Chain A
Amino acid sequence: MFTNFPFFPEQASQQAANVDALYFFLLAVSAFFSALIAILIVFFAVRFRRRSDTEVGEAIHGSLALELMWTFIPLGITMVMFVWGAVTFFHMTRPPQNAMEIYVVGKQWMWKLEHMDGAREINELHLPVGRPVKLIMGSEDVIHSFFIPSFRAKADVIPGRFNTLWFTPSKAGRYHIFCTQYCGTKHSNMIGWATVMEPAEYQAWVAGNVTGGTMAENGAKLFSDLSCNTCHLDSGQAQGRGPSLRNLYGRQVLLQRLETTVADDAYLRESILNPQAKIVSGFQPLMPTYQGLVTEEQLLQLIAYVKSLSDAPPPASAVKK
C-alpha cells in the first residue's frame, strides 16, 4: 500500500531546481532557528528549574545590545529571502519571446486546452521537452488555478481576464495537473495530466490530433461569421468604420486624448467584450459589445486570428507582460 515515502515532487521543469534551491535555503534557516529556540528552552528549563518553593528568579530587565542583535540579524536574513524570492519570481513571471503559446480555458470542472496549430485536449496537456511554453488562461465561470507541482508552476485562472503561466519542461513523463482554487462540488476532480514528450514524438502527436484547422483559421471564420470584417477592413488601405487589425498585435495603439496602450491579449479581450473602454484615435464608438455572444474559446480564437495578421513579430520593445 505505502511503497514509497516521497519528500519532494519530481523536478520536471527548468525552474523546478531554482525553486527547490530556495526551498532548501528556507528549510535550513528554519531548522536552525527552530532547533536554537527548542534547545535553549529545554536547557534553561532544566538548568534553572525551581529548586525550592520560595526561590525567585533574578531581576534582569533586558539588554539593548541583545534586542538590536535579534532584530537586525533576522531582518538581514529575511532580506536575503526577499531578494532571492523576488528574483526567482521575476524569472517565473516573464515568459521568453519564443515561447510556444497554448490556450487554457477552465470551467466547472474541466480544463480545455488548445494548441495554436489546432490540436485540442481536455484534462490532458502534451508538451515537448526543452521548449518554453506559455499558457494563456481564462475561465468561463468561477476562479480556478492551474498547478503542475512537478514544474513548480501555478497561476489563478480568473473569469474576465487572462493570466499567463510559463515553464520549460525538462524531462519526459506524466505529471499531475491540479486545480488549486476551490471551485465547487467537483473541485478535486478538476485534475489532469501533463505529458512531456521528446520533440519528435510531440510533432507526431500534434499531426495526429489536429482537427478542423488551426486556432487562427477558426478565428478567421468566426471573424466573418460575426461580421467583424464589415467594419474592420483587412485591406490595409481603405479606411473602414473600425481600425484595421493588420500588424496590430503587440504594437502601440494611439487612443483618444493622446493616451496609448499596447495591443496585447488583455487589450484585445477588452476591445471585444467592452469596446467602449478604449477608443482608437480617429474612430467613433460604434462597436457593439460581444459580451455573451462569444464563448471564452471563441474569444481565444479571435485573438489568435488577430495575432496571425502580423507580417513580422512585433518589436521587442513594445511587448511587455
Chain B
Amino acid sequence: METTAPTAPTLNYLNNGYGLKSWLLTKDHKRIALLYLWSITAFFFLGGFFALMIRIELLTPASDFVQPDTYNKLFTMHGVVMVFFFLIPSIPAVLGNFLVPIMVGAKDLAFPRINLLSWYIYVLGGLFTIVAAVTGGVDTGWTFYAPYSTSASNSHVILAGVGIFITGFSSILTGLNFIVTVHRMRAPGLTWFRLPLFVWAMYATSLIMILGTPVIAITVLLVAVERGLHLGIFDPALGGDPILFQHLFWFYSHPAVYIMILPAMGVVSELVQTFSRKNIFGYSFVAFSSLAIAVIGFLVWGHHLFVSGQSTYAGLMFSLISFFVAIPSAVKVFNWTATLYKGSISWDSPMLYAFGFIGLFTIGGLTGLFLATLGMDIHLHDTYFIIAHFHYVMVGGAIMGYLGGLHYWWPKITGRMYPEGWAKFAALNIFVGFNLTFFPQFIVGYLGMPRRYAMYAPEFQIYNVLSTAGATILGAGYLIPMIYFTWSLKGAAIAGDNPWGARGLEWEIPSPPPTENFPASPIVTENTHQYAPSREVGIV
C-alpha cells in the first residue's frame, strides 16, 4: 500500500515530443498503439452508427425508415467496418502493441518501422472503405458471396474489396512483429512458461493472422478479377463455381473469429489474476488451449456450408472438428472460474467486464454447439439465431474483453485513473443493454426470421422492438466511457506505477512509461502473477 500520493514521471513517452510529426513518424510502439486507438475508435462509432440505423429500421415490420437498398448497404457496411476495421485490430493493435514489448521486457517490438507501416496500411485500407461508403456504399453483405458480388451487385464492391485487401497486410505485419518479438526479445529469465497469458494469446492470434489473412486477400482479389475482367472463377454463367468462393472465404473468416476472441481471452486471463490477486489455475492448459484454438480453428470452415449442398461426409467431418474446437474454449472458462476460488476478489470495473465476458462468452460458445450440430444447423442457418450467437461471441466476448483491458491498462497508458463509479455504471449498462439487444434474437431466429431482411413478418415484431430498445441502452453504455476517458486525461487523479497492486513487468515501470520502457533489461525470476508464496497443489 502506498503511503505517499503517487506522482507521474517527469519524462515519459507522452511528453517526449509534442508536434504532429512526433506522432506521425513515431517508431515507439506505445505511440503507435495510441494512433491505432484513435483510428479504431472512429471506426467503432462509424460501425455503431450503421447498427443504430439498422435497429431503427427493424423497429417495424415494413421497410419504412430507409429503402431496402439502403438497408442492405447499412448491414454490409456495419459488418465490414466492425469486423475488418474494429474487431480484428482492436486488442492486438492497441493493447497488444502497447503491452507485448513491455510484458516481455523489451524496449520495443522487433521491427518498429514495420509497426508504423502497419498503421499507415490500415489507414489507407480504411480510406478506401470510407470512400466506398460515402460514394454509394456496398450491398453484398460483409461475406461478399459470389456470384452476387461478382455479377449481380451494382455497388462499389471492388473499392471496398481493395480496402479489405490492403488492410489485411497491416494484420499480417502486426502478427509477424509479435511472433518475432516473443521469440527473440524476451528478457533474461522470462521463459515461455513464465510469459503472461496475454502474450500467449497474442502469439496464437498472430499465427492465425499471418497464415489466414493471405487467403482472404486472394479471395477478394479473385472477386475483383471476376467482376472487373469477367474471368470465370465463381460465377457458373462464366464457368466458375460459387461454392469455391465460400470455401476460400470461410477458410480465413472462420479463423478470423478466433483473431477476434483469442486476444479478449488473453485480456480476461490477466484481469482474473490481478483482481483475485492469484495466479491462474492451470497455466499450461490455458496457454495451450489458445494454440489449440488457433490450430483447430483452421479446420472447421465447412460448417458455414452445411446447407450449401456440400457432401454429407464433408459435413460430418466439419461438424466433428467444430465440436473439438469448442473444448479448449470450455477449458478456459472452467480455469478462469476455478481461479476465483480462494482468491481475494475485488469488484473493480475491469473485473466486472471480466465477469461479463465469462458469462456472455459461455452463452456464445454454447450456442455455437447448436450450429455445429448438423441436424440442428439446417433450421438455424442464416436466421437471427446466428446473428445472436456471433454477437454474443464478438460483442459480449471480444468487446467486453477489449473494454475490460482498456480500463485495466488505462492508468498505465495515460498515467491517470478514471471515475470508478461511472465506470461501474457503464459496465452494468453495457451488460444489460447487450443482453436485451441480442437475447431476443435467439428466439426470433428459432421462429425462423432470416438475417439481412429489410422487412419481416409481423409476428416477429415484439422481439425486434426489444432488440432496438436494448441497442439504445447499449449505445449509451458505449458513449459513457468515451466521455470519462477523455475527461480523465486532464481531470482525474494521478495513477501511480501500480494502482491495482498487480504483478507483471508493465506494473514495475512508471505510468505513463518512459519511451525506452526499462532503464536496463529486467531480469525475471518468477512466474507470472505470483501474489502469495507458492505451495504444492492441494485439491483433488
Is the pair A8, B330 in contact by a Cβ cutoff of 8 Å? no
Residues of chain A from 72 to 108 with CB closer than 8 A to chain B in the complex: 74-75, 78-79, 81-82, 84-93, 108
Q: How far is the CB of A55 from chain B (nearest CB, A)?
A: 4
Interface residues on B, range: 35 or more
Q: Which residues of A have CB within 8 Å of B279?
A: 59-61
Closest to B355 in A: A41
Q: Which residues of B have CB within 8 Å of A187?
A: 68, 72, 452-454
Contact partner, A84, options B330, B343, B375, B379, Cβ 8 Å: B375
- Knowing A56-B532, A82-B373, the reply to whether A180 touches B457 (Cβ < 8 A) is no
Q: Which one of B255-263, B311-319, B516-524 is at the A interface?
A: B311-319
Is the pair B334, A70 in contact by a Cβ cutoff of 8 Å? yes
Is the pair B446, A9 in contact by a Cβ cutoff of 8 Å? yes
Tell me the bound Cα distance from A272 to B261 in angstroms: 48
Q: How far is the CB of B15 from chain A (nearest CB, A)?
A: 31
Contact partner, B152, options A85, A142, A154, A156, Cβ 8 Å: A142
**Is A184 positioned at the interface, with any CB of B under 8 Å from its CB?**
yes
Interface residues on A, range: 35 or more
Residues of chain B from 127 to 156 with CB closer than 8 A to chain A in the complex: 139-141, 143, 145, 147-148, 151-153
Chain A, interface SS category: mixed
Closest to A75 in B: B327
Is the pair A160, B241 in contact by a Cβ cutoff of 8 Å? yes
Q: How far is the CB of B314 from chain A (nearest CB, A)?
A: 12
Q: How far is the CB of A95 from chain B (nearest CB, A)?
A: 13
**Is B48 positioned at the interface, with any CB of A under 8 Å from its CB?**
no
Tell me the bound Cα distance from A153 to B283 in angstroms: 45
Contact partner, B540, options A65, A78, A87, A159, Cβ 8 Å: A65
Q: Which one of A22-30, A121-129, A247-255 is at the B interface?
A: A22-30
Tell me the bound Cα distance from A85 to B457 in angstroms: 29
**Is A283 positioned at the interface, with any CB of B under 8 Å from its CB?**
no
Tell me the bound Cα distance from A108 to B148 in angstroms: 11
Residues of chain A from 137 to 165 with CB closer than 8 A to chain B in the complex: 141-143, 145, 147, 149-150, 152-156, 158-161, 163
Q: Which residues of B have CB within 8 Å of A205?
A: none
Is the pair B369, A30 in contact by a Cβ cutoff of 8 Å? yes
Q: Which residues of B have CB within 8 Å of A155?
A: 307, 309, 378
Q: Which residues of A have CB within 8 Å of B72?
A: 182, 184-185, 187
Is the pair A59, B375 in contact by a Cβ cutoff of 8 Å? no
Closest to B280 in A: A62
Q: Mark B372-383, 1 if CB is under 8 A from A, else 0.
A: 111111110111
Is the pair A180, B382 in contact by a Cβ cutoff of 8 Å? yes
Is the pair B145, A30 in contact by a Cβ cutoff of 8 Å? no
Q: Which residues of B have CB within 8 Å of A153?
A: 378-379
Q: Which residues of A have CB within 8 Å of B192?
A: none
Q: Mark B346-375, 1 if CB is under 8 A from A, else 0.
A: 110000000100110011001101101111
Is the pair A180, B451 in contact by a Cβ cutoff of 8 Å? yes
- Knowing A19-B376, A160-B241, the reply to whether A60 touches B355 (Cβ < 8 A) is no
Q: Which residues of B have CB within 8 Å of A34?
A: 359, 362-363, 366
Q: Mark A1-14, 1 if CB is under 8 A from B, else 0.
A: 11011111100000
Contact partner, B346, options A50, A91, A189, Cβ 8 Å: A50
Contact partner, A182, options B145, B309, B344, B374, Cβ 8 Å: B145
**Is A131 positioned at the interface, with any CB of B under 8 Å from its CB?**
no
Is the pair A44, B341 in contact by a Cβ cutoff of 8 Å? yes
Tell me the bound Cα distance from A75 to B334 in angstroms: 14
Residues of chain B from 500 to 540 with CB closer than 8 A to chain A in the complex: 501, 530-535, 537-540
**Is B320 positioned at the interface, with any CB of A under 8 Å from its CB?**
yes
**Is B38 positioned at the interface, with any CB of A under 8 Å from its CB?**
no
Contact partner, B366, options A33, A158, A178, A185, Cβ 8 Å: A33
**Is A224 positioned at the interface, with any CB of B under 8 Å from its CB?**
no
Is the pair B151, A154 in contact by a Cβ cutoff of 8 Å? no
Tell me the bound Cα distance from A201 to B244 in angstroms: 44
Q: How far is the CB of B439 from chain A (nearest CB, A)?
A: 12
- Name which of B309, B347, B531 has the most chain A CB atoms within 10 A of its CB: B309
- Knowing A41-B358, A57-B342, A184-B148, the reply to whether A30 touches B367 (Cβ < 8 A) is yes
Contact partner, B285, options A2, A62, A160, A178, Cβ 8 Å: A62
Is the pair A26, B343 in contact by a Cβ cutoff of 8 Å? no
**Is A197 positioned at the interface, with any CB of B under 8 Å from its CB?**
no
Closest to A160 in B: B236
- Knowing A44-B343, A160-B241, A185-B68, the reply to whether A22 touches B147 (Cβ < 8 A) is no
Is the pair A143, B375 in contact by a Cβ cutoff of 8 Å? no
Is the pair B343, A19 in contact by a Cβ cutoff of 8 Å? no
**Is B35 positioned at the interface, with any CB of A under 8 Å from its CB?**
no
Q: How far is the CB of B352 from chain A (nearest CB, A)?
A: 10
**Is A228 positioned at the interface, with any CB of B under 8 Å from its CB?**
no
Tell me the bound Cα distance from A51 to B450 in angstroms: 50
Q: Mark B483-504, 1 if CB is under 8 A from A, else 0.
A: 0000000000000000001000
Q: Which residues of A have CB within 8 Å of B283?
A: 61-62
Contact partner, B379, options A1, A58, A149, A160, Cβ 8 Å: A149
Is the pair B319, A6 in contact by a Cβ cutoff of 8 Å? no
Is the pair A89, B341 in contact by a Cβ cutoff of 8 Å? no
- Knowing A41-B359, A181-B382, the reply to whether A92 touches B326 (Cβ < 8 A) is no
Is the pair A188, B63 in contact by a Cβ cutoff of 8 Å? yes
Q: Mark B147-171, 1 if CB is under 8 A from A, else 0.
A: 1100111000000000000000000
Q: Which residues of B have CB within 8 Å of A82?
A: 319-320, 323, 372-373
Is the pair A158, B327 in contact by a Cβ cutoff of 8 Å? no
Q: How far is the CB of B76 from chain A (nearest CB, A)?
A: 9
Contact partner, A152, options B281, B372, B379, Cβ 8 Å: B379
Is the pair A26, B373 in contact by a Cβ cutoff of 8 Å? yes
Residues of chain A from 234 to 282 with CB closer than 8 A to chain B in the complex: none
Q: How far is the CB of B312 from chain A (nearest CB, A)?
A: 6
Contact partner, A56, options B63, B344, B363, Cβ 8 Å: B344
Is the pair A41, B366 in contact by a Cβ cutoff of 8 Å? no
Is the pair B347, A29 in contact by a Cβ cutoff of 8 Å? no
Q: How far is the CB of A135 from chain B (nearest CB, A)?
A: 12
- Knowing A45-B345, A62-B285, A75-B327, the reply to whether A158 touches B378 (Cβ < 8 A) is no
**Is A183 positioned at the interface, with any CB of B under 8 Å from its CB?**
yes
**Is B276 positioned at the interface, with any CB of A under 8 Å from its CB?**
yes
Q: Mark A174-197, 1 if CB is under 8 A from B, else 0.
A: 001011111111111101000000
| Residues on B facing A (Cβ under 8 Å) | 1, 63, 68-69, 72, 139-141, 143, 145, 147-148, 151-153, 235-237, 241-243, 276-279, 281-285, 306-309, 312, 315-316, 319-320, 323, 326-327, 330-331, 333-335, 337-338, 340-347, 355, 358-359, 362-363, 366-367, 369-370, 372-379, 381-383, 443, 446-448, 450-457, 459, 461-462, 501, 530-535, 537-540
Apart from A41-B355, A88-B374, 5 more pairs, CB < 8 Å = A7-B447, A65-B540, A74-B330, A183-B148, A189-B68
Could you list some 10 contacts between A and B, CB below 8 A? A23-B379, A41-B340, A59-B278, A67-B331, A85-B376, A149-B379, A159-B237, A163-B309, A181-B382, A182-B452
List of 9 A-B pairs having minimum Cβ-Cβ separation, nearest first: A149-B448, A160-B236, A88-B375, A57-B278, A85-B373, A89-B374, A57-B343, A44-B340, A62-B282
